[in-house]
Structure 1
């Protein structure tokens, strides 16, 4: 079993998005390098790392210039692994601990590997009155999504819904805000969940269009 208190190496999945702890991410897997990696992670119930691409785009040729990976990411564990075709799988994974990316390398098959150090989990902090609007907004979003009659595995959030907790509310809103990878990563790296929620409420007050992310 991996000792999360010490640095360790894991396979990385670079994406144009950011996963937050307890968040859900759906991935369509068809490239051989990721099929092999995800099959092994699912079989052995091992973590892989979701890390944002801040510059460039991932390409199949390892000889091309490297992309710029974010300095922070999140451990992910696969909870659904469904074959659609022989070489096509639909997966859903849940976020666990945040990590800092100490170093990375690209293997000959194009798979990224990273040495990571886990970051301390967010403390439990009740939402102060001045940030209650953000929690109310998230509650309304959850209610709206539930009314759409989606099945449990189609919902964007996983229960329990902790609408009184700064970390849970800030993480769920950060996931759905239409922000750049760099901006999302800035929120991810905040060690104080109250500050993260404060930054999100400022973004909402500045006119970030949350509705555009829900359709």
Structure 2
């Protein structure tokens, strides 16, 4: 495993999962500087969830587990703002927060999943459960997504039902499609291995079933 590295950090109101897309509209001066640094050096940055406080202005309480984000597309606007699309790469732990100058920075270490398998029957059952709940939510008008977004998620779930990728990547792909708040999503991120991540996902879906009157 590589040694810890000092990384530019971008605390946000929601966690980023490996493999998930992260669209950003950057307007704060300190994060404009981060964008210039990372795009100029082709460097990833860390994303952690803000547990208490605000994304703007500092003074926040930040989680100690996050995800590296790799920049896929970006553009600096004439007024100095940036629009950017990044993708979650791999999970990290914060070893030590450093001074926020000129932007948040931390010494971070990679945190790969512990080895664990998810049998094919469990994968199939969990995808089927999520698809059933999404269908029920659509019936009662509680989907919370556009028709195009819903169709894209359904396509991804269909692919996951047949996917043979290794368990860690598969579990994070499924987690990104689960309707969940930021703290539940952070719990998915922090699960030590794919099997226990599936357990967290199951608990979240228990709550969705209750909200939909399925339990």
- What is aligned with 1:28? 25
Q: What residue ranges of structure 2 are gaps of 5+ in the alignment?
A: 135-142
8 Å contact from structure 1 (residues 14, 58) kept in 2: yes
8 Å contact from structure 2 (residues 113, 168) kept in 1: no
- What is the number of residues matched between the two proteins? 197
8 Å contact from structure 2 (residues 25, 81) kept in 1: yes
Pair 198,132 (structure 1): closer, same or farther in 2 beyond 3 Å: farther
Q: What is the root-mean-square deviation in Å for CA atoms of aligned residues?
A: 3.6
8 Å contact from structure 2 (residues 91, 110) kept in 1: yes
Q: Distance in 2 between matches of 1:90 and 1:208?
A: 37
8 Å contact from structure 2 (residues 113, 193) kept in 1: no
More helix by share: 2
For residues 105-144 of structure 1, the C-alpha deviation after alignment (integer angstroms, 9 at most, x for no partner) is 33244x2111111012565734442452322356787xx9
- 2:47 is equivalent to residue 46 of structure 1: no
2:67 to 74, 84, 96: 74
TM, length-normalised to structure 2? 0.74
Pair 84,101 (structure 1): closer, same or farther in 2 beyond 3 Å: same
**How far 1:37 sits from its partner (Å)?**
1.0
Q: What residue ranges of structure 1 are gaps of 5+ in the alignment?
A: none
**How far 1:14 sits from its partner (Å)?**
0.4
Q: Distance in 2 between matches of 1:108 and 1:192?
A: 34
**How far 1:194 sits from its partner (Å)?**
1.5
**How far 1:205 sits from its partner (Å)?**
2.6
- What is aligned with 2:137? none
8 Å contact from structure 1 (residues 178, 209) kept in 2: no
TM, length-normalised to structure 1? 0.74
- What is aligned with 1:125? 117
